[in-house]
Structures are given as C-alpha cells and as structure tokens.
C-alpha cells in the first residue's frame, strides 16, 4: 500500500519529527526547511498535502504559496501560523490555501484537519482522472468511424471547437448527435466547465421555462427557495439543447433573447442575470421546413445554425457497421468480463444489410444483447435478434449505393419468410457487387465495408464470378 505524502515546510527541525509521530504508518513525511527548498522538491516529487509555515527564512510562506500555484502545484496547502497571525492566514486562504491551523497544535484538531485535506486531495485527483477520461472518450479523434461522410463532420468540428459560435446538429434519432455535441465541448477551451444537456421535448412548457431559466423563491406554489436554471448551471461551459425543434413557439423568443443578449430573468424575478454559455442544439426535424410552416422562428433558426452539421443515418454509412459492431462487442464483453466472440461473415453481412431505423443506438443495443446471450466463440446469423435483411436493388446495370448527405427515405426491409425465391447466395452476391461498385473495385475498402478479410472477399469474388467488377 502506497502511503500518502505530506511535505512539511518549516525551519523548526522538530516539526517534521512531530508529524512523523502523529502519522506514523499512515503517511510518508517529507521535510523542507525553507520555501526555496520546498519549491525545488515539488518540481521532482508528487505530494498529496503541503503543511506550510508562514514564518520562514528567506522566502516567506505567502510568497512560497503564491509561487507554488504559479508553478502548477494545485494540491491542498494548510498554513501553520502563530496565534496572533490569523489575519495573515486569511490572506493565505485568499491565495488558495485549503485551511490553516494555529500553533501550538492540538493533536486531535491537527489530525482532523490533515485527514480532511487528504480526503480533498484524493477527490481532486479522482475528478482530474475522470475529467481526463471523459475528454479522451469524447475527443473527435477517438470516435469510431471509417466513413468519409463522418470524417467530413469531424473535420468541421476540429475547425470550430476553439470558437464560441452556436452549432445546430441535425440527424435522425440514434445517429449520435449528443456524442458530437460532447466532442465539440470537450475539444473547446470550455472543456473544464460544465456540459449541461436539456431535452426540450421531455418537459411541458411551464416546466421547461423554469428548468432553463430557474426561478425565485415564491415564483409559484412550491417554490420555497431560489433555484438556478440550466443557463446558469452551464456558466462558462456548453448548454446542449436537445430536440430543439420541439420547443413551443412561445418559448422560442425567450431562448433567442438569452442567446443574443447573454442575459436571462428567473421565473418570478425582475433582475437580469448575465450568462456565459456556448449553445449547441440538436434536432431530428427539418428546421427549414418547420420555419416555412410557421412552427419555428426564423430568427432563432439563424441564431442556432451559425454552423449547421448533418449526421448521416447508419444506412448511409454502412462501412461503419462492422467497425462499430466490433467496438461495441469488445466494450460490452469487457464490462461483463467475458471473452470477445467473433462475428462470422454471414452474420456480419446481415448486420450490414439491415436498415437500422434506430441507427447507432439500435446497433449498440443489438450488440449488447448478443454479448449477453451468445455463449459460443462465434456469433452466427441465427444468433441475431431480428429476422430481416434489406436487399440492394440489383439491376442489369452496375449496382450502386447512394450516399447522399441529406436524409433519404428508408428502403423497406424484406422479411426472410417472404424471400422464398431469393437464396442467401444471391443476397451475398448482391452485397459484394454493391460494395465493389461503391468503392470502384477497391477490394481492401470493400472488405472493410463488408466486415470480412481481403482474402475472404477475394474467394467470394471468385466464387460468384465478380472478377470483372
């Protein structure tokens, strides 16, 4: 077990000995007899807590504390002071000291203060670790895709992250709009501040207003105390307005004013409260059509859509299905402590052929179900929880698949029981022909799209006589 480290900065030699006795077997005690020596040690050693005497030879305690912070040490510092120097200790608190304690010590008080500071240190380290983990998880470069269309989206995200402009993300349900919103936030200078999501479709109008803008005490029955709204809670960070197309018309001018003027008024209040947020909005509706039909304000649309992003549905980026399926399978099996099974070619072909009306969210749910219910080392076609495939439209001409950037109507899925005259070989041949046409004969990309090896693709091309494609 690693002991937590306490650096005692005091020119009295017996002070380090006193701490060693008080925290024997619990903490490792390091000693510095001057501020200069303490700063030197902090450059080389990670410590959990600094006990800093205010009266030091040379560089005094306040200057030492200020320099510690300037050099990047953000751990807790407890200042030690004589009884008559409480005013100076308060000054140290303003500079970022965690607490202070007066000499001579009461040992029980000392232990309580130190234990509280160490608990704070552990929590701070955990928060830093989790923040780093979240930033890495939602970093654009770590989002799983091989789709050129998604690469275009992420290229735009990287260009706009450092700005504060509003972004409107459009796409069907389940395409990953919130994931994109988080990537924008965690790639921006606001990453250290909150990301606050609000589902505009989940609350009735009266509750939505109080949720967004907060309320004052007595604003309505049950408002016993002031409550800040989401605009205030997102201070310095990003406010994510999910399903913004469902905003009631009466709410839209209030949102517009808050974004334009960067001020809000709490429900039941008259005071203008300044707010500093970046707004990222998302919708599965066609907002231009909503504007034309009078259900969405044009001025709010233009305010939100400074940068419009469209996330293509999964059926328009089928090359992502194999890589996403394997990624989700590895993630789900890892959490369950199970070995990761393979997905055989036929099962992968069905996954790639399926229309995925629920998009990435539906794919993840299916893979999670497979990870829990499949006992074998290989996931086969019969293990899949749905019994439909979508056949490509194969004509006498060259097969093709349109990858339009705009949402298109979902092709109908054909139940297997209706495929009496269509064999699996014909289905597989059509999919391979489609992939070869899509990637203009590039077998490496076609194999990745289909979720099979290049050698397996070569054998199937030979089997089905598709060499001329």
Q: What is the CATH number of the domain that holds 77?
A: 3.40.50.2300
Domain assignment present for 81: yes
Q: Which residues are within 8 A (CB) of 273 and not within 5 positions of it... i.e. 6 or more apart? A: 232, 263, 264, 265, 266
Confidence of residue 405 (pLDDT cuts 50, 70, 90): very low
Are 306 and 209 in the same domain? yes
Range of the domain at 104: 4-134
CA separation for the pair 179, 86 (Å, rounded): 50
Domain assignment present for 286: yes
The pLDDT of residue 207 is above 80: yes
The pLDDT of residue 401 is above 60: no
Are 71 and 161 in the same domain? no
CA separation for the pair 363, 354 (Å, rounded): 10
Are 44 and 98 in the same domain? yes
Q: What DSSP string describes 41-65?
A: HHHH---SEEEEES--SSS-HHHHH
User: The tokens of 424 are what?
Assistant: 């699996």
Are 155 and 280 in the same domain? yes
Domain assignment present for 372: yes
Last residue of a domain, one of 91, 113, 134: 134
Greatest mean pLDDT among 281-285, 334-338, 343-347, 450-454:
281-285
CB 316 within 8 A of CB 403: yes
CB 175 within 8 A of CB 150: no
**Of 293, 320, 376, which Cα lies nearest the Cα of 176?**
320
The pLDDT of residue 402 is above 60: no
Are 322 and 455 in the same domain? yes
For 68-92, write each residue's pLDDT tens digit: 999 989 899 999 987 667 778 888 8
CA separation for the pair 341, 407 (Å, rounded): 34
Say what the alpha-carbon torsion angle 189, 202, 177, 210 is, to the nearest 10 degrees: -20
Are 149 and 251 in the same domain? yes
For 408-425, write each residue's pLDDT tens digit: 333 333 333 333 344 556
**Of 405, 415, 324, which Cα lies nearest the Cα of 361?**
324
* SS3 state of residue 310: strand
The pLDDT of residue 397 is above 70: no
Query: pTM (2 decimals)?
Result: 0.62
Last residue of a domain, one of 278, 311, 344: 311
Are 158 and 118 in the same domain? no
Are 116 and 188 in the same domain? no
Are 149 and 200 in the same domain? yes
For tokens 């005091």, what's the residue?
A: 10
Q: What burial letters (b/e) apply to 238-264, b meaning 16+ CB within 10 Å?
A: bbbbbbbbbbeeebbebbbebbeeeeb
What average pLDDT does range 158-173 have in this prediction?
94
Q: What is the CATH number of the domain that holds 416?
A: 1.10.8.60
* SS3 state of residue 380: coil
Total domains in the fold of the chain: 3
Are 350 and 454 in the same domain? yes
DSSP character for 227?
A: B
- DSSP bridge partners of 241: 198, 281
* SS3 state of residue 319: coil
Domain assignment present for 267: yes
Q: What is the CATH number of the domain that holds 167?
A: 3.40.50.300
CB 217 within 8 A of CB 226: yes
Are 261 and 227 in the same domain? yes
Domain assignment present for 469: no
Phi, psi of 181 (to 5 degrees): -60, -40
Confidence of residue 1 (pLDDT cuts 50, 70, 90): low
Last residue of a domain, one of 296, 311, 326: 311
Rounded to a whole number, what is the distance in angstroms from the first to the last CA of the chain? Answer: 64
For tokens 């391979």, what's the residue?
A: 432
Are 287 and 335 in the same domain? no
Q: Which helix (H) or strand (E) holds 441?
A: none
- DSSP bridge partners of 308: 168
The pLDDT of residue 434 is above 60: yes
User: What does the pLDDT read at residue 458?
Assistant: 84
CA separation for the pair 60, 398 (Å, rounded): 81
Domain assignment present for 139: no
User: What does the pLDDT read at residue 135?
Assistant: 60
């Amino acid at each position: 077990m690693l002991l937590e480290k306490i650096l005692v900065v005091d020119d009295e030699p017996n002070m380090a000995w006193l701490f060693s006795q008080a925290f024997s077997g619990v903490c490792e005690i390091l000693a510095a007899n001057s501020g200069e020596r303490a700063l030197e040690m902090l450059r080389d050693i990670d410590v959990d807590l600094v006990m800093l005497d205010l009266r030091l030879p040379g560089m005094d305690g306040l200057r030492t504390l200020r320099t510690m912070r300037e050099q990047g040490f953000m751990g807790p510092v407890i200042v030690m002071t004589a009884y008559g120097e409480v005013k100076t200790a308060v000054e140290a608190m303003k500079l970022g000291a965690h607490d202070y304690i007066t000499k001579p010590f009461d040992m029980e008080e000392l232990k309580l203060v130190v234990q509280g500071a160490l608990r704070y240190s552990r929590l701070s380290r955990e928060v830093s670790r989790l923040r780093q983990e979240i930033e890495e998880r939602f970093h654009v470069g770590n989002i799983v895709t091989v789709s050129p269309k998604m690469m275009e989206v992420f290229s735009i995200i990287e260009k706009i992250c450092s700005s504060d402009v509003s972004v409107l993300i459009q796409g069907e349900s389940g395409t990953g709009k919130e994931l994109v919103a988080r990537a924008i936030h965690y790639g921006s200078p606001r990453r250290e501040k909150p990301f606050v999501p609000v589902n505009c479709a989940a609350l009735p109008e009266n509750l939505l207003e109080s949720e967004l803008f907060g309320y004052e005490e007595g604003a309505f029955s049950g408002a016993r105390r002031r409550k800040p709204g989401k605009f205030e809670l997102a201070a310095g960070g990003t406010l994510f307005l999910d399903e913004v197309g469902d905003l009631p018309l009466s709410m839209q001018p209030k949102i517009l004013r808050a974004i334009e003027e960067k001020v809000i008024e709490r429900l039941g209040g008259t005071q203008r409260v300044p707010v500093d947020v970046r707004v990222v909005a998302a919708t599965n509706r066609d907002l231009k059509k909503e504007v034309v039909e009078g259900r969405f304000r044009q001025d709010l649309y233009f305010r939100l859509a400074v940068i419009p992003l469209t996330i293509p549905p999964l059926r328009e980026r089928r090359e992502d299905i194999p890589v996403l399926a394997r990624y989700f399978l590895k993630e789900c099996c890892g959490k369950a402590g199970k070995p990761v099974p393979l997905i055989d070619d036929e099962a992968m072909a069905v996954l790639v052929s399926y229309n995925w009306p629920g998009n990435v969210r539906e794919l993840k749910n299916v893979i999670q179900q497979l990870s829990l219910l499949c006992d074998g080392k290989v996931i086969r076609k019969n293990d899949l929880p749905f019994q439909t495939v979508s056949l490509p439209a194969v004509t006498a001409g060259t097969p093709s698949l349109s990858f339009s950037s705009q949402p298109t109507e979902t092709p109908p899925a054909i139940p297997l029981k209706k495929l009496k005259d269509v064999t699996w070989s014909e289905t597989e041949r059509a999919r391979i022909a489609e992939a070869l046409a899509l990637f203009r004969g590039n077998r490496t990309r076609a194999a990745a799209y289909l979720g099979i090896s290049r050698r397996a693709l070569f054998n199937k091309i030979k089997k089905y006589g598709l060499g001329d494609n």
